[in-house]
Amino acid sequence: MGWYDVFSRFYDASVERLYIESRARAVLALAPRAGEYIVDLPCGTGLSLDGLVAAVGPEGRVIGVDYSAGMLAQAQRRASQAGWDNVSLQQGDVLRFGADELERACGRRQVDALHVFLGLSAFPEWERAAERLWSLLRPGGRVVAVDVYAARLGFHGRMVNLTARADITRRFWEPFERLAEDFSCEPLPSLRAHGGELRLLRGVKPA
């Protein structure tokens, strides 16, 4: 059993209070539309699903992907309790989740939007992971990612890295800055407990 399988048991109660506002801002920035297909990776325990599912409606679909079986089980429980039938949940490695895997999950080889919340600081080979995610996005599609950045680590930053098995010194926005049109990266309200500055990036894949 991996660390995130264990972490999934207390993630919502111990951590989510720090990110409620930034999750809402991420969905607002992504501006999901009725009928769209959206990849949420990593989906974690499914805490971003509420806003995404409501926005895409019954004709759309949210494809949640996570490497951790424990996190995914929590997300599945959330989806089942809510009665969402427009959610597909898939266990997968971001470095191996490509068009074939996406097609098996939802019948499409590309999607309209990408939602990446607290993933880029934790993914292995994170720059290659960003390119892999980009390949799932159709031309004209949109990406929003939220993560923490610290140029230098203080105590809280070291604790975040340890707890999340992350590296928040990564300049996580740079791969998308190179790839996207209409790119922006803005600071979000941050707390000391975040370990650094929360930032939200958004961009559009060139048509």
- CATH, residue 88: 3.40.50.150
Return the pLDDT at 33: 97
Please tell me the distance from the alpha carbon of residue 141 to that of residue 181, in angstroms, as a whole number.
Answer: 10
Domain count, the chain: 1
Alpha helices in the chain (DSSP H): 3-7, 11-14, 20-30, 49-56, 69-82, 99-106, 126-135, 155-164, 174-179
pLDDT digits (tens, 9 = 90+) for 84-143: 999 999 999 999 999 999 999 999 999 999 999 999 999 999 999 999 999 999 999 999
- Cα of first residue to Cα of last residue in the chain, in angstroms, is 42
pLDDT at site 70: 97
Which of 108, 112, 114 has its CA nearest to residue 133?
114
The two counts, helices (H) then strands (E), for the chain are 9, 7
pLDDT at 1: 52
What is the model's pTM? 0.96
Amino acid at the residue 175: P
Question: Domain range holding 171?
Answer: 3-204
- As a whole number of angstroms, the distance between CA 101 and CA 96 comes to 8
pLDDT in tens, 149-205: 999 999 999 999 999 999 999 999 999 999 999 999 999 999 999 999 999 999 999
| Bond before 42 cis per omega within 30 degrees | yes
Confidence of residue 16 (pLDDT cuts 50, 70, 90): confident
Q: Span 39-66, mean pLDDT?
A: 97
Mean pLDDT of 28-46: 98
Tokens standing for residue 88: 């597909």
Q: Residue 82: exposed, middle, or buried by beta-carbon count in 10 A (0-12, 13-18, 19+)?
A: middle
